[in-house]
C-alpha cells in the first residue's frame, strides 16, 4: 500500500496507552491474555494445577485509561474484575527463547481483565471459544506504562484490587505459575509477536462480581496504580 493511500471509510483511531513520565503514547497492536496463572485462582475456579498456560485475546480498542468510568457492559449480569500485571512489548519475534524474552519488553502496567463470567461459563460448558466472555468493549482497563528504565522487570511485589475501599484481591507477582519470560516464549510459539503487543499475565485469587457505582482501585508494588469506576449501562 502506498504511503499516500486513501481509505473508503475513515480509518479507526490507533488505540494507545499513556506512559509514566512522558506525554508520548504507547500504540497498542494486540492484547493477549494468559488464563489461570496464579495457583490460588486456578484452585478457586476448580481447575487443574498443572495445566500448561493458554492464551486468549481482546481487541486492541478494548483498552481504557486510568480514571475512566466504564459503562456496565451489555449482555451480562455477572461482570467480574481480575487485576493483572500487563507487559508491553517494544520488539517482537517468533519462537523467542525465555532467556531472550525480557529484551522485548518496553514496560509494565497494572490492568484489569474484565470478564463477563456468565458468558464465559456458558461458552465453556458448550466447549466454545471465550470471546463473548472476554473480548467485549472496554474490557481492558490499563494504567500508565512504567518503562523498564524506571521499574526494571518486577518478579515479586504485591498485586491488589480494592472494590469501594475493601480489599478483594491481594496476591504477589511471585505466585505466577508461568513467569513473564516463559509466557513470551510460549505465546511466540503460537503467533509472531510485534512491537505494540501487550500481554495480561493472569490474576490472583479473589475475583468477584462488580456492579454499577463500584470504584475499582488496583495497584502493583513498584509498577503503578489504576482506578476505574463502573457506571450505569450505556443507553
Ligand atoms: Mn484474566
Note whether residue 9 is domain-resident: no
Residue 40's pLDDT is: 81
Note whether residue 215 is domain-resident: yes
Give the CB-side neighbour count of residue 22, counting CA atoms within 13 A.
10
Range of the domain at 184: 16-231
Note whether residue 10 is domain-resident: no
Residue 113: pLDDT band (50, 70, 90) is: very high
What is the CATH number for 196? 3.90.850.10
Note whether residue 6 is domain-resident: no
Residue 50's pLDDT is: 64
Residue 51's pLDDT is: 75
Residue 52's pLDDT is: 79
**Cα 84 to middle of ligand 1, angstroms:** 7
* pLDDT tens per residue, range 38-73: 988 778 877 776 677 889 999 999 999 999 999 999
**Cα 58 to middle of ligand 1, angstroms:** 11
Ion ligand 1 nearby residues (CB, 5 A): 82, 113, 203
**Cα 157 to middle of ligand 1, angstroms:** 18
Note whether residue 83 is domain-resident: yes
Q: Are 47 and 172 in contact (CB under 8 A)?
A: no
Note whether residue 89 is domain-resident: yes
**Cα 173 to middle of ligand 1, angstroms:** 14
* pLDDT, average across residues 82-101: 98
Cα distances (angstroms) measured from residue 87 to each of 71, 106, 172, 173: 25, 8, 16, 13
Q: What domain count does the chain have?
A: 1
Residue 232's pLDDT is: 97
**Cα 141 to middle of ligand 1, angstroms:** 12
Note whether residue 99 is domain-resident: yes
Nearest in space to 66 (alpha carbons), one of 126, 8, 20: 20
Note whether residue 81 is domain-resident: yes
**Cα 221 to middle of ligand 1, angstroms:** 19
Amino acid at each position: 500500500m502506498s504511503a499516500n493511500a486513501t481509505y473508503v471509510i475513515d480509518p479507526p483511531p490507533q488505540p494507545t496507552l499513556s506512559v509514566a513520565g512522558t506525554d508520548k503514547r504507547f500504540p497498542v497492536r494486540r492484547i493477549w491474555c494468559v488464563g489461570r496463572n496464579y495457583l490460588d485462582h486456578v484452585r478457586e475456579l476448580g481447575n487443574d494445577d498443572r495445566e500448561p498456560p493458554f492464551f486468549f485475546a481482546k481487541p486492541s480498542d478494548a483498552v481504557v485509561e486510568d480514571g475512566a468510568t466504564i459503562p456496565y457492559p451489555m449482555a451480562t449480569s455477572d461482570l467480574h474484575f481480575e487485576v493483572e500485571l500487563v507487559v508491553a512489548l517494544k520488539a517482537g519475534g517468533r519462537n523467542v527463547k525465555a532467556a531472550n524474552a525480557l529484551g522485548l519488553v518496553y514496560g509494565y502496567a497494572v490492568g484489569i481483565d474484565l470478564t463477563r463470567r456468565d458468558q464465559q461459563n456458558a461458552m465453556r460448558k458448550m466447549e466454545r471459544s471465550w470471546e463473548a466472555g472476554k473480548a467485549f468493549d472496554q474490557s481492558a482497563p490499563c494504567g500508565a506504562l512504567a518503562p523498564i528504565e524506571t521499574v526494571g522487570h518486577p518478579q515479586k511485589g504485591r498485586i491488589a484490587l480494592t472494590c469501594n475501599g475493601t480489599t478483594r484481591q491481594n496476591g504477589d507477582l511471585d505466585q505466577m505459575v508461568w513467569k513473564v519470560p516463559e509466557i513470551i516464549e510460549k505465546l511466540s510459539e503460537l503467533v509472531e509477536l510485534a512491537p505494540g503487543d501487550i500481554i495480561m499475565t493472569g490474576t490472583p485469587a479473589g475475583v468477584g462480581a462488580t456492579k454499577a457505582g463500584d470504584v475499582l482501585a488496583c495497584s502493583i508494588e513498584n509498577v503503578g496504580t489504576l482506578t476505574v469506576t463502573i457506571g450505569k449501562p450505556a443507553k
